[in-house]
Structure 1
Amino acid sequence: MFGKKTQPPIKSLIAQGTRIEGNMKFKEGLRIDGEVFGDIQASPEENGSLLVISEAAVVQGSIQADHVIVNGTVRGPVHARELLELQPKARIEGDVSYVALEMHQGATICGQLRPLMTGVSEEEKPLLKLAAKSA
């Protein structure tokens, strides 16, 4: 409805009080309430992967998924192949790449923002035009 894709179901949970050390790969949806010290990657073959990092969660490593929602702490680069949502308590220490970005007041990023252009060549990028106040 209204052009929004349905989100994949969250089938995996890393509960608060759980600490994982090592790299992870997942399909569909993953929610993290605990701590992960390693890289997290959604399967690129799957369309519509969802990663949710809750307010209490801490991730130290790189993140790669289609749709990433952050409300906790991430120390490492974040690569959202579609949408990156930063909730009010999101803290990211690392570079961020995304196709679309939604950032709520209070969220912070200490790193570079790199929008990903999907299917747009250098020649097709719109020119930046400044509006001047006429006298």
Structure 2
Amino acid sequence: MFNKKVIEKPIDSHAHTLVSRSTEIVGDIHFSGELIIEGKVKGSIYAEDDSKALIRVAEGGCVDGEICVPTAIVNGLVQGDVRCANHIELASKAVVVGNVYYNLIEMVMGSEVNGNLMHLSSQLSDAQKLGLDRQGLNKQALSFETSSFDSSSVDNK
């Protein structure tokens, strides 16, 4: 009668997964949606780089392995490299023992990174951002070291 439009809310198609405090997972995790870690994960964690996936490592949560996701919020312990194509937030109780590769980063006072912070250019494709692996970085470092060595400067006496 009053011609009211019914606005349908989109169904949240993102799955939410919780690794509770009393849970330990051994092995790699591939996910979409939101992954909340309050327990322990021994293995790498991956999400599609073009997804809106989000990982939360809660206070007391622990990841022993690499994390490759578009967005991360860390307030626990991560022992391994973290690669975020979009955004990473390191909360006050966050401890990362490894390198952090990011496009945008927020660090709250009290958070720790025991490794390198490496900015990913926003001009790189998502696949290139997340495709930076340790072997590739090591090869780049090795080629830099060998190419910068000048054999003519060595005294051959």
TM-score range normalised by the length of the shorter chain = 0.7 to 0.9
Q: Matched residues, percent identical?
A: 33
* Higher relative strand content: 1
Within 2, Cα distance between the matches of 1:43 and 1:11? Answer: 15
Larger-Rg structure:
2
Match for residue 131 of structure 2? Answer: none
Which of 16, 24, 31 aligns to 1:11? It is 16
Match for residue 35 of structure 1? Answer: 40
Query: Which is bigger in relative contact order (C-alpha 8 A, separation at least 6)?
Result: 1
The amino acid that maps onto 1:59 is V
CA RMSD of aligned residues (A): 1.4
User: Within 5 A, what are the aligned runs for 1:33-112?
Assistant: 33-44=38-49, 46-112=50-116
**Residue ranges of structure 1 left out of the alignment (5+ in a row):** 1-7, 121-135
Deviation at 1:43, TM superposition (A): 2.1
Within 1, Cα distance between the matches of 2:36 and 2:29? Answer: 13
Deviation at 1:47, TM superposition (A): 2.1
TM superposition outliers: structure 1 runs of 4+ over 3 Å: none
Deviation at 1:10, TM superposition (A): 5.6
Aligned residues: 112
- Kept after mapping to 1: 8 A contact 2:15/2:32: no
* Higher relative helix content: 2
* Further displaced range: 35-44 or 70-79: 35-44
